[in-house]
Structure 1
Amino acid sequence: MVQYYWNPNFQQPKMQNPNMQQMQPMQPMQPMQQPMVPPPVSMPSGTIPAGLPMGEQSYIENILRLNIGEPGTFHFSFAHTVGEALNVRNITGYVEAAGRDHVIIHEASTDHQFLFPMIYFDYAEFEGQVKYFPQTVQPRQV
C-alpha cells in the first residue's frame, strides 16, 4: 500500500522477507563540502535554451517557459469542485515561471500571483506569436 498524503496517525506495516540479508549499520556522516555553483548565464532574447534533449523540448512546461512574460489567457479546470460555476478558472496575465508539475501565473488586472498544478491546465491563448522550438523536417526514408 502506498501512502500518498501525509497522515501523522498512519503506521506503515512492517513486512519481513526471509531472503533479505541483515542490514549493515550506517557509517557516520562526513561533513559536507559546499558544492561549486556556476555563475548565472543570461541568454539573449529570442534564443532557445539548448540544454534540453530533443525529445523533451515539446513538453508544455518547456513551451510555457519559452513564453515567460508574454500576455495571454490561461485556462484551468477542476473536476473535483462541488459547484459547476467553480470548476473553471481563466486568468488573463502572463507566465512568471513554469516547472515540471506547476505554473505560476501573474494576473495583470489584480496583480495577484497564482500557483497552479499542471494537472489542472487546459490550454493557453497568447496575444502574440507563440514562441516554440525550431522544427526540423527529417526526410522520409522509404
Structure 2
Amino acid sequence: MSNKKQSQRQQQQGYPIPAVTPVQPTYPYGFYAPSGSVIGAPPSAQPSGTSGQAVPGMLPIEESFVENILRLNKGKLATVYMTFENNPEWPAKVFRGVIEAAGRDHLILSDPQTGRRYLLLMVYLNYVTFDEEIVYTSPQSLASYPPR
C-alpha cells in the first residue's frame, strides 16, 4: 500500500498522522567527507593548514596519526595485528615484517625471510608492536614528508 493511501486510511479511521521532519545525517567525529573536511566534528577537531601547538615530548596534534607514526618508523621490524570481520577462514591474522611505507588507508610490510610484501588496509588494523624503541617525537623527521 502506498504511503499516501495509508495516510488517508489512517486519517479516516481516526489515527493521528505523525508529522514527517527531514533529518540531516549525523556522522561520528572524525568522519572525512570527500572534500577532505571533517563532518560532525567539533570545531577544535577540524583540520587546519597550520600545525597545532607543540607539546614537549609529543608530535603536534595534527601529526600524531598512526600513519605518520608508522612513517617515522620506516625500516623497522613490526608485528601488525589485524581483524577481518565476517571471515570464517581467518577472522584475525598477525603479520610480521619491515615497514616499507604507510599511507592514510594502508601499510606496506615486507617479510625479510620470504621477501613477500603485504599491502594491508588500515581499516583492519588493531595494533602494532615493535621489538625496539620507536620514533615518535621528531618533528624534523616529518619535514621530509609532503603535507596532505
Q: Following the alignment from structure 1 to structure 2, what is the Cα–Cα distance between the partners of residues 121 and 133? A: 22
Counterpart for residue 79 of structure 1? 85
Out of 69, 72, 80, the residue aligned to residue 75 of structure 2 is: 69
Structure 1: gaps of 5 or more residues: 1-51, 136-142
Moved over 6 A (4+): none
Residue in structure 2 matching 1:57, options 46, 49, 63:
63
Identity of aligned residues (%): 34
Higher helix share: 2
SS in 1 for 2:123: helix
Q: Give the superposition deviation at 1:93.
A: 1.2
Q: How does 1:48-127 map to 2 (within 5 A)?
A: 53=51, 54-83=60-89, 86-127=90-131
Q: Partners of 1:68 and 1:102 in 2: how far apart?
A: 14
- Paired with 1:91 and 1:65, the residues of 2 have a C-alpha distance of 17
Letter of the 2:130 counterpart? F
CA RMSD of the aligned region, Å? 2.2
- Distance in 1, matches of 2:113 and 2:81, equals 16
Query: Structure 2: which amino acid aligns with 1:59?
Result: F
CA distance in 2, matches of 1:72, 1:116: 13
Aligned AA (1:128): E
Tell me the TM-score normalised to structure 1 length: 0.53
Between the two proteins, the alignment pairs up a number of residues equal to 83
**Structure 2: stretches of 5+ with no match in the other structure:** 1-49, 52-59, 140-148
